[in-house]
Amino acid sequence: MNRHKHFIFHVILWLLIWATAWIFSGDQIGFVSENGLSLVFQILAIAVLIYYSAPKLLLKKKYILFTLASLLTIVVVTLVLTNITPSAIIGAGPLNGPPGPVPGLLEGPNSGMAPPMEMNRRPPSKFFVNLLLVAIAYVIATLVETFLFVQRKDEELIINKNEALQTELKLLKSQINPHFLFNALNNIYALSAIDSGRTQQSISYLSDMLRYVLYECDHEMVPLQKEVDYIKNYVKLFALKSSKSYPITTKFHIENPTINIAPMVLIPFVENALKHSNIEKITGTFVHIKLHADSNLIDFEIENSKPANNIIKDGVGGIGIENVKKRLAILYPNSHQLSINETSEAFKVNLKLKLHG
C-alpha cells in the first residue's frame, strides 16, 4: 500500500473506534462536542507519522531522530489541542444551584470536612488526557506501519530470491548446452573420419537433440519420456563413433507417461560416464544405465567402469556433475537424494527424485 492508503486506513480505524465510543455514551451530542477535536488532532499526528516520520526516519533506521521527532510531534499536537479547547478539569461539573452542603462532605461535628481520600483524589488534567489520546493513536499507527513495512520487505525478499534462482537456473542451463554441443560435435568429427554415411545418421540424431534443447528445455518441466529419448539419442550418437559395439546397456521403465522432470538433469551423468569410463577400449569396460519411474519416484542409476589411470579428454571435463548438483539443490531442495560411490574399479551414481502430485 502507498502512503495515501495507509493514511485512509488509520482514519477509518479511528473513526470506527470513536463511533463505537459515541454509540455507548450517554450524552451523544455532548460527546461529539467534547471529543471531536481530539479525533481531528489524532489524525493530524498520524499524518505527520505516515508522511514524514515513518518514511524519512523510522524506515531508514534513524531510530534516535524518529524518537525525538515523535515526542516533539505528540507534545506539540497535545499543547495545541489543549489550548484551543476549554481548560475545565475533567469530572468537575457546573457549580450552579442553591448554596448548601457540598455533596460528599461529612455532616455533624465534622461538617465541611471531606474524608482524607476524597481530598487527595483529583481528576486528570485536560493536557494529560489529550496527551494520552494522541500518544495512543501515534503508537498504534507506528506499530501498524512497522508491521506493514516488515511484511512488504518479506514479500520483496521472496520475489528477489525467486528471481535470483531463475537467473541461476538459466545460467546453469547455458553452461549445459554448450558443453553438450561440444561433446556431440567431437563425436561427429571423430565419426567423419571413419564413415561419411554414418556421419549423416549422427547429424540426424544431433538434430533431434538440438530440437529438444532449443525448444523444450526453456520450460521448467518436461515429460520424462523426452528426457529419456534425449539420452537414447546421445548414446546412439556416441555409439556411431566406431563400427564396434560398445558395452553400453540401457534399461528404461516409465509407468506413467505424464511424469515430468526438470530438463537436462540426467544427461550430465551420462556424459560423465561415457567420457571417463574408457569405453572406447571395449574390453574390460562398461556403462550401465537404468531408470525406473512411477507416479511417486524417479530412480535413476548409472555405473561405469573406472580406468586405472584418470582420463581427461578435454579442458571442460567435470562441468556437468557440479552443474547438476547446483540445479538439484535449486529445483529439488527437499525431494532428491544423490549418492555417488567410487571404487577402484567403478563409478556409480544413483539419483532419486521424489514427485509431488
Concatenated DSSP letters for 220-252? S-EEHHHHHHHHHHHHHHHHTT-SSPP-EEEEE
Grid coordinates representing 151 are 511484511
> What is the pairing mode between strands 260-261 and 336-342?
unpaired
Which amino acid, 169? Answer: L
* Contacts with 338 (C-beta within 8 Å, 6 or more apart), sequence order: 325, 328, 349, 350, 351, 352
Helix (H, G, I), strand (E, B) or coil at 298: strand
With vertex at residue 83, the alpha carbon angle to CA 81 and CA 86, rounded to the nearest 5 degrees, is: 95
Residue 281 CA to residue 344 CA, distance in Å, equals: 18
> How would you class 254 by CB atoms within 10 Å of its CB: exposed for 0-12, middle for 13-18, buried for 19 or more?
middle
The band of 347, judged by pLDDT with boundaries at 50, 70 and 90, is: very high
pLDDT of residue 265: 86
Which amino acid, 245? Answer: S
Residues 191-242 pLDDT 10s: 777 777 778 888 888 888 888 877 877 788 899 999 999 999 888 888 877 7
329, 15, 348, 323: which is closest to 178 by C-alpha? 323
Residues 278-309 pLDDT 10s: 888 888 899 999 999 998 999 999 999 988 77
Q: What is the mean pLDDT of residues 90-106?
A: 44
Most confident of 58-67, 124-133, 213-222: 58-67
Please give the mean pLDDT across all residues of the chain. Answer: 78
Q: What is the mean pLDDT of residues 30-45?
A: 77
Contact 152, 145 (CB under 8 A): no
Q: What is the mean pLDDT of residues 31-50?
A: 80
At residue 151, φ and ψ (nearest 5 deg) are -65, -40
pLDDT of residue 172: 58
The band of 6, judged by pLDDT with boundaries at 50, 70 and 90, is: confident
Domains of the chain: 3-92+109-156 (no CATH), 194-354 (3.30.565.10)
> How would you class 54 by CB atoms within 10 Å of its CB: exposed for 0-12, middle for 13-18, buried for 19 or more?
buried
The band of 68, judged by pLDDT with boundaries at 50, 70 and 90, is: very high
pLDDT of residue 174: 60
